Amino acid sequence: MNNNFVKGSWQEILDWAQNKSINMLHYCTGCGAIELPPTMTSRYDMSRFGIGPAATPRQADLLLVTGYLSTKTLRRLVYTYEQMQAPKFVVGFGSCTINGGMYWDSYNTIKQLDKYLPVEMYIAGCMPRPEAILDGLLKLKKMIADGEADGYQRYEENKDFYHQNQEAVLGEVQRTQ
């Protein structure tokens, strides 16, 4: 089923469908979690773009990391990421995931998210407002439609790079079989 021609056009249809309906699992790690309720409800209403909340990683396509990540939470985040099924995307919220933000010199937070998980996009701001979140997600939808959002493939390809970084911070990490 995945010879090149069929893969090409069929994959486009799937990418188109993927960008039209995204199930979002927002992993409320930091202070960004509180930005999502207003984005989902009446005033900003993210569901008009087909993005809705998912209850479990099994049903989710998009993982929102909203805020600073302590090393212990990173272990749970990696486990949840691996429970999600391809195609899956990661979006980092706020400066804490970009470069450590105001917790840059704290001993127990990680400084760059994309060392540990393939991040499609960062939304800057010391917690971005709902407009910024919507703008970011719309750009993400465009990336998915054009097929550029291939974070999950990058994760598969250089798996050991990511695993080393994770083990460097966490020590031994339990992998799903």
Q: Taking CB under 8 A as the rule, does residue 158 contact other proteins? A: no
Closer to other proteins at the Cβ: 115 or 139? 115
Residue pair 155/118 in contact (Cβ under 8 Å)? The answer is yes
- Going along the chain, which residue ranges are E strands? 22-27, 51-53, 62-66, 89-93, 121-123
Q: How far is the CB of 127 from other proteins (least distance, A)?
A: 19
Pairwise CA distance, residues 119 & 154, whole Å: 10
125 scored as a contact of other proteins (CB under 8 A): no
Contact flag: residue 167 with other proteins (CB under 8 A): no
**Among 30-38, 39-47, 128-136, 155-163, the segment contacting other proteins (CB under 8 A):** 39-47
What's the rounded Cα separation, in Å, for the pair 136 and 123?
Answer: 6
Total residues contacting other proteins by CB under 8 A comes to: 51
Q: How far is the C-alpha of 62 from the C-alpha of 163, rounded, in Å?
A: 21
Nearest to 147 by CA among 89, 108, 69: 89
| Residue 57 binding other proteins, by CB under 8 A | yes
41 is a contact residue toward other proteins (CB under 8 A):
yes
Q: Figure out which of the listed residues 34, 37, 52, 148 binds other proteins, where binding follows CB under 8 A.
A: 52
Q: Per CB under 8 A, does 34 bind other proteins?
A: no
Binding site for other proteins (CB under 8 A): 13-14, 17-18, 20-21, 27, 41-43, 45, 47-50, 52-53, 55-59, 61, 71-72, 76-77, 79-80, 83, 85-87, 98-100, 104-108, 110-112, 115, 169-171, 174, 176-177
